[in-house]
Amino acid sequence: MSKLYSNKASTDGLQARIDDVIDRTLADKRLVGAVVKVAAQGELVYSRAAGFADREQNRAMQENALFRLASVSKPIVSTAAVVLVSQGRMQLDDRVDRWLPEFRPRLPNGQFAALTIRHLLTHTAGLTYRFFQEENGSYEQAGVSDGMDQTGITLVENVRRIASVPLLYTPGTQWKYSIATDVLGAVIESVADVPLSEAVRSLVTQPLGMSDTGFMAVDQERLTTVYANDAPEPRRMHDPHRMEFMEGTAGFRLAPGRALDDTAYPSGGAGMVGSAGDFLRLLETLRKGGAPLLPESLVRQMTTNQIGDLPMAYWPGRGFGLGFTLLKDPAAADTPESPGTWRMGGTYGHSWFVDPAEQLSVVAFTNTALEGMSGQFTADLCKAVYDGRECF
């Protein structure tokens, strides 16, 4: 059993270290606001809201603030899919076209590809994201939405457009982070025979009491304003907003107003809104074995590397389970996390990880894109959590 935060002295040290990281980051004007929560051995040992939910309106961040989740949507929707598997309503190795007969993308050589639910969950389906491609790439030419812009199309139409573009590779032979979870959302709709929002609510959020989480903000007054990381301080996002990602790529197209638009298609990979407390509840449910959502055997599959030794661009030392990354080699990943740690984040400024060996779950939601996802704040926060090992 972990002893990382098993006594008051170690917990007090944790609180002081995380407070220092948050305070320094806010003082340096690298973040506008954040909510950080840490659970150790099933107990909430740190919870703080800091900075502003809206800087220009002088609205302070609150612990129940709502955030546009971006890719933090993926573990929620992936869990919904695995719940359907647990109920015997579909299988991991079902072909996608069993549930979406029109989704039959071709390989570069023109042959039809055999995609499975497992390929979608593990991001080995041959798909990509528009923001990874160059300007005017194949997804842009086909009008594919990444799920964070507002295009006025339906989920069915976006999936049709995705299927019209040749796959990058034969499913199962490579790993590439992609729009696969949006396709998975369409599969969930087909299997459950209800809209994706209703399916996710009945399969995941309602059983866990995640009343703040859905495909639209449940309370506009609690929804945070979003900012783009910039110097000398983050700048308020426009709507729509374009944000650079990596040199040579098309970058992000963001529509913050999407979180309040009930006509926006439900993007399983990027379209949800929720609170840090809600998401911590899901992580802790999975860490403890899955009840009441899932049997432990399926949680083990979700949290075990499913892609073998396929290389993962941008995430050295990690593998991938059913919906999120898994740490294989802490040295290669340059992290103090234990092997087996699950981790991901979200474009709008979030990071999270679960370290099962230390019985530890950490959620850091911010309203500052990129810095809160993969900037120095994320690294400093992780270090602050694990510096507690010095106490023993």
Would you give the DSSP letter of residue 179?
Answer: T
The whole model's pTM is what?
Answer: 0.96
Asked whether the beta carbons of 290 and 260 are under 8 A apart, the reply is: no
Instruction: From 133, 140, 210, 147, select the one nearest 181 (Cα to Cα).
Output: 147
What φ, ψ does residue 95 adopt, rounded to 5°?
A: -70, 140
Q: For position 151, what pLDDT does the model report?
A: 85
Asked whether the beta carbons of 199 and 210 are under 8 A apart, the reply is: no
Asked whether the beta carbons of 165 and 144 are under 8 A apart, the reply is: yes
Q: For position 2, what pLDDT does the model report?
A: 58
Q: For position 298, what pLDDT does the model report?
A: 98
Q: For position 166, what pLDDT does the model report?
A: 97
Per the annotation, the verdict on 275 as an active-site residue is no
Q: For position 215, what pLDDT does the model report?
A: 98
Q: For position 246, what pLDDT does the model report?
A: 81
Q: Tell me which H or E stretch contains 326.
A: strand 325-327
Domains and CATH numbers, the chain: 8-66+209-218+275-391 (3.40.710.10)
pLDDT means over runs of 10, the chain (392 residues): 68 94 97 98 97 98 98 98 98 98 96 97 97 93 95 95 98 98 98 98 98 98 96 94 86 95 97 98 98 98 97 94 97 96 96 97 96 87 85 30
Instruction: From 197, 172, 175, select the one nearest 272 (Cα to Cα).
Output: 197
Q: For position 11, what pLDDT does the model report?
A: 86
Marked catalytic residue, from 10, 47, 71, 73: 71
Q: For position 116, what pLDDT does the model report?
A: 98
Q: For position 390, what pLDDT does the model report?
A: 47
